[in-house]
Amino acid sequence: MSEAVLTEVENGIMVVTINRPEAKNAVNLAVAKGIAAAMDELDSNPEIRVAILTGADNSFCAGMDLKAFVTGEMPIIPGKGFAGLCEASPKKPLIGAVEGYALAGGCELALSCDLLVVADNSKFGIPEAKRGLAAAAGGLMKLPRMIPSRIAMELALTGDFIDSARAYDLGLVNQVVPAGTTLEAAKALAAKIVANAPMSIEASKRVIMEQVDWSTEEMFAKQQAIVDPIFVSHDATEGAKAFAEKRAPNWLGK
């Protein structure tokens, strides 16, 4: 895997670090390939239950590497989109640990995470219009699904930033923690997820992601098709037994 992206796994948690601090962790093709490879490993390795995406040197991501862009390089992976992530969410949970700035493509990376733990000095924005571009890696579509559409419109048209407190008030992020502690807090959140049944976690994420497009008439049938295997699984029985026996469950993921 590229040195532009570093990974480590411990206790079922993979930490994926964008490692271009000299460029404020801007996304070039090497970063896109590295993140895509990490997401493939997350979903294919049963020992990994959840991933955390963060940036090196107390900075999340300043967006697309514009110097690389003007040379014709596009940090896009077919089928996965910008940064190897924005068009294809992994099956397993992904937590963003944001220190500093998450701007433009960096904001779109944050929007592609399932949960966000951010520093109290973080800034978010999609200022692409200031550079003659557009937030086409999901910002224009995902942001109005997560916050009021008029606020999303304002951010897209003005290119203004919002701080972590405003992002929390809008429901864009899950936790705001002191600067320098986001990875620690994200690991604590990830540990809570790891403690739960793998099949339940993946199915729950899938339903929440897909239900946006379901009609009222079809939603329960579509949900049933996804969750039915859980109720006849080994882990369902194990969860009930563990509760009755007042012990921690031993999940097998089947």
Confirm or reject CATH 3.90.226.10 for domain 5-194, answering yes or no.
Answer: yes
pLDDT at 158: 97
Beta strands in the chain (DSSP E): 5-10, 13-18, 50-55, 76-77, 81-82, 94-98, 101-103, 115-119, 123-125, 161-163, 175-177
pLDDT at 140: 97
Options 73, 108, 154, 218, the catalytic residue: 108
CA distances in angstroms from 218 to 85, 177, 212, 221, listed in the order given: 29, 40, 12, 6
Q: Is the pLDDT of residue 132 over 50?
A: yes
52 φ, ψ (degrees, to nearest 5):
-120, 130
For residues 15-26, give the mean pLDDT. Answer: 96
pLDDT at 92: 98
Q: Is 245 a catalytic residue?
A: no
Domain layout of the chain by residue ranges:
5-194, 198-244
Residue 70: both structure tokens together: 């003007």
Q: Is the pLDDT of residue 89 over 80?
A: yes
Q: Is 73 a catalytic residue?
A: no
pLDDT at 1: 47
pLDDT band at 15; cut points 50, 70, 90: very high
pLDDT band at 143; cut points 50, 70, 90: very high
End-to-end CA distance of the chain, in Å? Answer: 30
Options 128, 184, 202, 217, the catalytic residue: 128
Q: Are 235 and 252 in contact (CB under 8 A)?
A: yes
Q: Is the pLDDT of residue 2 over 80?
A: no
Q: How many degrees, rounded to 5, is the angle at CA 147 between CA 197 and CA 98? A: 60
Q: Which residue has the tokens 């900075």?
A: 59
For residues 37-63, give the mean pLDDT. Answer: 97
The average confidence (pLDDT) of the chain is: 96
* Rounded-to-integer distance, Cα 140 and Cα 134, Å: 8
